[in-house]
């Protein structure tokens, strides 16, 4: 394992540590590290967007799936979570099954920048400013007129803010 001088003897000795570091930080490189929104913030975001049964809510970087589950259970909306991390994706799938929301909630494994958003009426995101900047043109091109965008904490650089409630910021396309 480790020799007397304290150095790793082989690459295989460092592999578990490397895998843990990559797993914890690689999602930050494509959008944001996983920091879950509290249920209070989730409800505030969904209320601010005036989500209802006719909405299709997308959560970009859905993490543990709490936003899409709250959208489906409390607001009776259809919801789609997009998650790039395979372990969180599997966790979300399990939570959807355990909560009985398979008819209302779909979880997609993939990159948020490659997912077609044309059927979304509401898009939720808790992403870093660099990712939000990259998403602005995608939203303008793909979202239908009147679609609502909610960001948790970080503002979009050029989208026009409609209103805000604490960390929840509402925009419209």
Q: Is the pTM of this model over 0.85?
A: no
- pLDDT for res 14: 65
- pLDDT for res 34: 75
Tokens representing 148? 């609502």
Q: Work out whether the CA dihedral 144, 147, 151, 154 comes out positive or negative.
A: positive
- pLDDT for res 109: 96
Domain range annotation of the chain: 1-30, 39-172
Task: Tell me how far apart the alpha carbons of residues 44 and 153 are, in angstroms, rounded to a whole number.
Answer: 12
Domain 39-172, CATH number (from 3.60.21.10, 3.40.50.970, 3.40.50.150, 3.20.20.70): 3.40.50.150
- Taking the chain (173 residues) in runs of 10, the rounded mean pLDDT of each run is 54 61 56 79 96 98 95 98 92 97 97 96 95 96 97 95 96 93
Task: Tell me how far apart the alpha carbons of residues 154 and 130 are, in angstroms, rounded to a whole number.
Answer: 10
- pLDDT for res 22: 57
- pLDDT for res 35: 80
């Amino acid at each position: 394992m480790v020799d007397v001088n304290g150095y790793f003897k082989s690459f295989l000795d460092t592999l578990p540590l490397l895998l843990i570091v990559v797993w914890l930080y690689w999602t930050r490189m494509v959008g944001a590290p996983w920091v879950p929104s509290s249920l209070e913030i989730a409800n505030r975001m969904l209320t601010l967007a005036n989500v209802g049964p006719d909405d299709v809510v997308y959560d970009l970087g859905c993490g543990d799936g709490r936003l899409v589950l709250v959208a489906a259970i409390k607001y009776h909306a259809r919801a789609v979570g997009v998650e790039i991390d395979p372990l969180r994706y599997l966790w979300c799938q399990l939570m959807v099954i355990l909560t009985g929301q398979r008819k209302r909630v779909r979880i997609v494994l993939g990159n948020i920048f490659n997912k077609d958003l044309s059927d979304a009426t509401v898009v939720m995101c808790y992403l870093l400013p660099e990712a939000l900047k990259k998403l602005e043109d995608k939203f303008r091109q793909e979202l239908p007129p009147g679609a609502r965008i909610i960001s948790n904490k970080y503002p979009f650089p050029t989208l026009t803010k409609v209103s805000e409630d604490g960390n929840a910021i509402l925009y419209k396309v």
